[in-house]
Every structure is written in structure tokens, then in C-alpha cells.
Amino acid sequence: MNIFRLVGDMSHLLAIIILLMKMWKSRSVAGISGKSQILFAIVFTTRYLDLFTSFVSIYNTSMKVFFIGTSYVTVYFIYQHFKPTYDSNHDTFRVEFLIVPVGGLAFLVNHEFSLLEILWTFSIYLESVAILPQLFMVSKTGEAESITSHYLFALGSYRALYLLNWIYRYYFEGFFDLIAVVAGCVQTILYCDFFYLYITKVLKGKKISLPA
Amino acid sequence: KKEARVKDEL
């Protein structure tokens, strides 16, 4: 463990807590893409199957349980509990255009042709594009609540910090995973536009309005 | 520099 990965995981944890608090306090899921949240639930489910087969640490296991659990609670909030506030008319990204290519790529490009490894690879590739429905929704509605912007900033920061973690691990531990690094770069690049708007607007008290 | 067999990252 290193400071970059720890802060990255905390940023990821914070993002999830911000989202849940927004939903619970405002009793609304307005502006949140249910499709992205479903993709995140798939990401965690396919990535953490080793939860039962290999034990790394209490931290690792508890974080995995938390991420899987909260991802399903979030999907439940959107599609059941707060369904009347779900804005399905603006959440129209065709996720099959993500899942099919990512599934095919995971099948072709992976470290080992085994079920667990292909599912892990699928999860890594899927996570890199899972935020697209959410960013698409923000661009369609033309704006995002500031709490949603904070959620996206924390979520985008987590993988950017993981990039620093991989640089650190490469030089100090000789650890290198090309698949995770490439997907992490794609994932972080997708947030660049948002990061720019967040830093230039939200931090000055303005609202975000992605070009519609 | 193969990646660690056991996935220790989240």
C-alpha cells in the first residue's frame, strides 16, 4: 500500500458516500444516471469474485464488501426507492455499445485465459467507460447539481491517483500491469473535460454546464 | 514485470 493508492481508495469511498448522502438527504436521484450505476455494480461484481477465494487483508476485504454493497443499494435507490425522481428521459446512453465491445476485448486481450482473469479484465475495461452514461446525461440536461459535481470529482480523482500509485509501484516494487494502466489512463482522460469545468466553475461557486 | 498474481488492488 502507498499514499497514492490509499488516498485514491478514500476518494472512491468519499464519492460513493457523497452519492448516497445526496440521494438520502434530498430523497431524490435527479441528475444521476442509473445506467452508470448499473455498470459500476457490474464492475464490482465481476472484479471482486475473488472475495471468497483469496484473502489479502481486512482492509481489502472490507472495502470490496462496501463497494459491492453500496453499488447495489445505489441501483436500488434509483430504480425502486426513489424511482419517481429518476430522470430516465435524459439517461439514454446505449450501454450495450459499451458492454459488448468491452466484453469482446476482455476475451481477446487479457493476462490469462481463465474465467476469473477474463472477468477481472472485463471489469477493468468496463470501469474505464462506466461513467460515460453519467457524463452524457449531464451534457444532455446541460447542467449538474454541485453535489453531483463533487461526486464526479471524487470519482474521477480516485483513478487518477491510481495512475500515480502504478508509477510508484513500478519504480519501488517492480509491479506493472499494462491492462490496468491503459484502462486507468482512458478512464481518467474521460474526466478531463469535467475536471476543467469543475476547477474553473464549481470551485468558484458556479454551476457546471457541460456543452449540451 | 508481470503483474502480481494475487490482485491486491481494489
Q: How far is CA A211 from CA A28, A138, A147, A190, in A?
A: 24, 9, 19, 15
Please give the Cα distance from A134 to A154 (Å, whole number).
14
Structure ipTM = 0.89
Closest CA to A37 of A65, A16, A55: A16
Band of residue B1 on the pLDDT scale cut at 50, 70, 90: very low
DSSP state of A5: H
Residue B10 Cα, gap to closest chain A Cα (Å): 7
Q: What is the pLDDT along chain A (212 residues), one digit of tens a residue?
A: 999 999 999 999 999 999 999 999 999 999 999 999 999 999 999 999 999 889 999 999 999 999 999 999 999 999 999 999 999 999 999 999 999 999 999 999 999 999 999 999 999 999 999 999 999 999 999 889 999 999 999 999 999 999 999 999 999 999 999 999 999 999 999 999 999 999 998 888 888 877 65
Closest partner residue to B1 (CB to CB) among A120, A162, A174 is A174
Whether B5 has its CB under 8 Å from any CB of chain A: the answer is no
Residues A121-148: tens digit of each pLDDT: 999 999 999 999 999 999 999 889 999 9
CA–CA distances in Å: residue A42 to residues A69, A80, A106, A127: 12, 18, 14, 9
Distance from CA of A162 to the nearest CA of B (A): 10
Please check whether residue A40 is in contact with residue A71, taking contact to mean a CB–CB distance below 8 angstroms. yes
Measured between its terminal Cα atoms, the distance across chain B in Å is 20
Distance separating alpha carbons of residues A54 and A47, to the nearest angstrom = 13
End-to-end CA distance of chain A: 41
